[in-house]
Amino acid sequence: ELSKLGLGNETVVQLRTLELPVDYREAKRRVTGIWEDHQPQLVVHVGMDTAAKAIILEQSGKNQGYRDADIRGFWPEGGVCLPGSPDVLESGVCMKAVCKRVAVEGVDVIFSRDAGRYVCDYTYYLSLHHGKGCAALIHVPPLSRGLPASLLGRALRVIIQEMLEEVGKPKHKAQFKENSTMVLPAKGN
């Protein structure tokens, strides 16, 4: 839905959509590739949280505690994302500030410091590591009658516009997880 909407005429970015599977090894391979191949200024991951009742802006990614198996039955050795790396990495985007400024009728947006120690958090930590804090994670609830794809797409558009404003660099590249979207500068920018 966000791919159809784009980020608006005022935002000088090119939007691309990618999908990452709920697979630790594949997520690690692809996230590493995104940072090495595209060298984005900002990556935004979007993951579904089946228990969520609101859109959740995650401030930090955790390095340890990955005990649940992915769709292939795999989990990181020792439950660690990157051995020898810090326990917590923070996003350079102030999610609390974005959360305070975002208003989308019919959608609650909240702030969190615990992304849940599953593939979303793992992917986020990797992105924060490779991007030196230039990443974000948005957890979304499942689609429903109260949150159809069209409303979720509009909400994500508003949130990402605020994130771009928060970091003050409208030429950002961004990327979404699970149903992932990458934003790249338009040609000539």
Residues annotated as catalytic are 58, 120, 139
Its sign, for the CA torsion 44, 117, 80, 19, is negative
Under DSSP, the state recorded for 141 is P
Check if the beta carbon of residue 138 is closer than 8 Å to that of residue 116: no
What is the rounded distance in angstroms from the CA atom of residue 64 to the CA atom of residue 19? 24
Q: Where are the alpha helices (DSSP H) in 92-147?
A: 95-101, 119-130
Helix, strand, coil in percent for the chain, rounding step 5: 30, 20, 45
Give the H or E element holding residue 94: none
Give the H or E element holding residue 46: strand 43-48
Measured distance between the N- and C-terminal CA atoms of the chain, rounded to whole angstroms: 25
